[in-house]
Amino acid sequence: MKDEKAGAKMRDDVVYRISWNTKYDPDPAKTSSKGTYKINIKSVDGATETGEKTLVTHPGYQCGAASDPECFPDITGAVLADGDASAKCACDPSKDGYDEAAAKWKPFAGTVQHYFLKATDVGEVGEVILSGDSNTDDSWTPGFLKINMNDMETGVGNGIYYMDIGKKINKDKTLTMKAGATDSYGEKIKMENKASHQYGIIKCEAASCEKKMEKMMSSAAKAK
């Protein structure tokens, strides 16, 4: 175990461009949550991982309070407010003086959210684990999750990964999705077979795959 951790620390950090949507429901509060959720991304061999990193708080909700731009990760994954005590981060429950009522959270339907996570480079993604601290009656139900590890300028990197989730996540129920999974018929999951998407992680090997992914995410976000 110590060797694995040491190996992970020797790797350079990269920026994971993560996007997701909360599953549509006519009553958005049913699929949104007031909890905080974390993500752990692991390599194919399981030897390297990012470790649990905060992904989102109040997924599916919009914060009605004003917050400085420095409170959110920039495209490099840096949060400038972490070193600035004067920054006003009224939408971050981890900050001293946070006031849930003053944040004025409101559930919304279908909007895709984004996060730039700077963490250990795991290489090709083999497993993704999502966990949360909410009670079962405040579960989060994400629709899709996309992880882009390619460089924003060159388009080169460890690839783009797509997950069709649609399952509740709470403090008693984590979600684990793996690459190389098979569907209920024993067939390998692939982008062309939409029914197989829920079984694991799909890596996009071509631009056409990413276009299909974006189209499906957009359609799901607008579903009625």
In this structure, the answer to whether residues 95 and 203 fall within a common structural domain is: no
Mean pLDDT (whole number) for 83-105? 92
In this structure, the answer to whether residues 115 and 99 fall within a common structural domain is: no
Range of the domain at 176: 2-63+109-221
In this structure, the answer to whether residues 96 and 31 fall within a common structural domain is: no
In this structure, the answer to whether residues 27 and 117 fall within a common structural domain is: yes
In this structure, the answer to whether residues 91 and 196 fall within a common structural domain is: no
Question: Phi and psi dihedrals of 138, rounded to 5?
Answer: -130, 40
In this structure, the answer to whether residues 124 and 40 fall within a common structural domain is: yes
In this structure, the answer to whether residues 93 and 182 fall within a common structural domain is: no
Separation CA 37–CA 29 (nearest Å): 16
* Mean pLDDT value across the chain: 88
In this structure, the answer to whether residues 124 and 27 fall within a common structural domain is: yes
Domain count, the chain: 2
Domain holding 139: CATH number? 2.60.60.20
pLDDT digits (tens, 9 = 90+) for 188-205: 887 777 778 888 999 987
pLDDT at 96 over 60: yes
27-51 as b/e, with b when 16 or more CB fall inside 10 Å?
A: ebeebbbbbbbbbbbbbeeeebbbe
pLDDT at 217 over 90: no
Percent of residues, the chain, with pLDDT higher than 70: 89
In this structure, the answer to whether residues 199 and 100 fall within a common structural domain is: no
In this structure, the answer to whether residues 88 and 190 fall within a common structural domain is: no
